[in-house]
A and B are shown apart, each in its own frame.
Chain A
Amino acid sequence: MRRRALLVAQGAAVGLVALLLGLLVWKLVSNQGGDLARAASDGKLPKAPNFRLDRLDKPGSFQLSDLRGKAVAVNFWASWCAPCKQESPYLEQAWAQDRKKGLVVVGVDANDFRSDARGFMSKYGITYPVVYDGPGKTLGPWGIKGFPETYVVDREGRVVDAFVGAIASAADRARLRDAIREALG
């Protein structure tokens, strides 16, 4: 009887250690990030993770999966991010140029104050839809490592290209145009 109790106690201790080890491995793996961008750059067309967030530009919420059938450029940004200021005119330009063909540019403002984000949108003339993710809960599933990052998603919800960092150079802008053309199909 005592031997049985001992075995149970030892089993419980080993189980607890295994659980903690599992949690550690899960944490390390889930914190890797960047996989989506890497897979997109390798041409693997990974599925874009869905999100549902409140809008900043007007009342209501917004779900990415509602845009299935359209090409989407998802731009992760924050008002305190200096390179975000640099690229916002190009995103606005792309939105104005291709929205009639079926492109939607979506800004995801993360780790930011709502008021700061609205001020940024007003200052830089952003007219495309922007959603708010203060706690940054979308950053993990998308593997976002910093701001800005932009993902071009095709009409089937697959990521065709990813831009880690600002879309600032002429080469970046040309690549964005190509990615949008591919996403529009």
Chain B
Amino acid sequence: MTRSLVALAAIFAALVACVGTASAVGAPPRAADLESELVCPVCKTTLDQSDSPVANRMKAYIRARIAAGWSAQRIKDSLVAQFGQGVLAKPPKGDFGLLAWVFPLAVLGAGAVVVGILVVAWSRRRGPPSPPPLDPALERRVDEELARFEG
């Protein structure tokens, strides 16, 4: 009895997992997501923020392609083929586009190193140089004079 229940539970869990995976893989792209990831070539803002004629035409294109069952990547690729890489709000993480991701981080890193060097240099900087030590004979004489004065 217990063994049957365990088997039933395992089958149910497997089914749930299969349905979940299938829905995640086969889920159509959302127009709103794509519109926030693509740029209007005329006004240079993302499509969701633009109401220009070309942006509206691109939105209609996206919706038609989603209805035709295209994946998000295929829709993006087809728009890049028409309007160039500039239509992507985020540069692709490959080839030259990688530079756009790495360069700011590299500049930030270099800036942090420079600031670190400056902070260390400034913290090590001492105050005004101390005066040279007194001549022992002169020091003894000053002590004697002070003693006499205090006496």
Which residues from chain A sit less than 8 Å from chain B, CB to CB?
Answer: 2, 5-6, 9-10, 12-13, 16, 78, 80-82, 111-114, 116, 134-137
Contacts and interface: CB of A to CB of B under 8 A. Distances in A.
B20 interface: no
30 contacts: A2-B121, A2-B124, A5-B117, A5-B121, A6-B121, A9-B114, A9-B117, A10-B118, A12-B114, A13-B114, A16-B110, A16-B111, A80-B53, A81-B53, A111-B42, A111-B83, A112-B82, A113-B57, A113-B61, A114-B82, A116-B57, A134-B82, A134-B83, A134-B84, A135-B41, A135-B83, A135-B84, A135-B86, A135-B87, A136-B41
Nearest to B52: A80
Contacts of B124: 2
A43 B121 CA distance: 60
A16 B82 CA distance: 36
B32 interface: no
A9 B118 contact: yes
Which 10 pairs from chain A and chain B are nearest by CB?
Answer: A135-B84, A80-B53, A111-B41, A134-B82, A134-B83, A9-B114, A6-B121, A9-B117, A80-B54, A80-B57
Contacts of A80: 53-54, 57
Given A9-B117, A136-B41, A112 B84 contact: no
Given A9-B114, A78-B54, A113 B121 contact: no
Interface residues of B, number: 20
A53 to B, nearest CB: 12
A113 B64 CA distance: 14
Contacts of A135: 41, 83-87
A113 B82 contact: yes
A164 to B, nearest CB: 16
Nearest to A80: B53
Given A80-B53, A134-B41, 16 more contacts: A5-B121, A6-B118, A9-B114, A10-B118, A12-B110, A13-B111, A78-B54, A80-B54, A80-B57, A81-B53, A111-B54, A112-B82, A113-B61, A114-B82, A135-B85, A136-B41
Contacts of A81: 53
Interface string B87-120: 1000000000000000000010011001001100
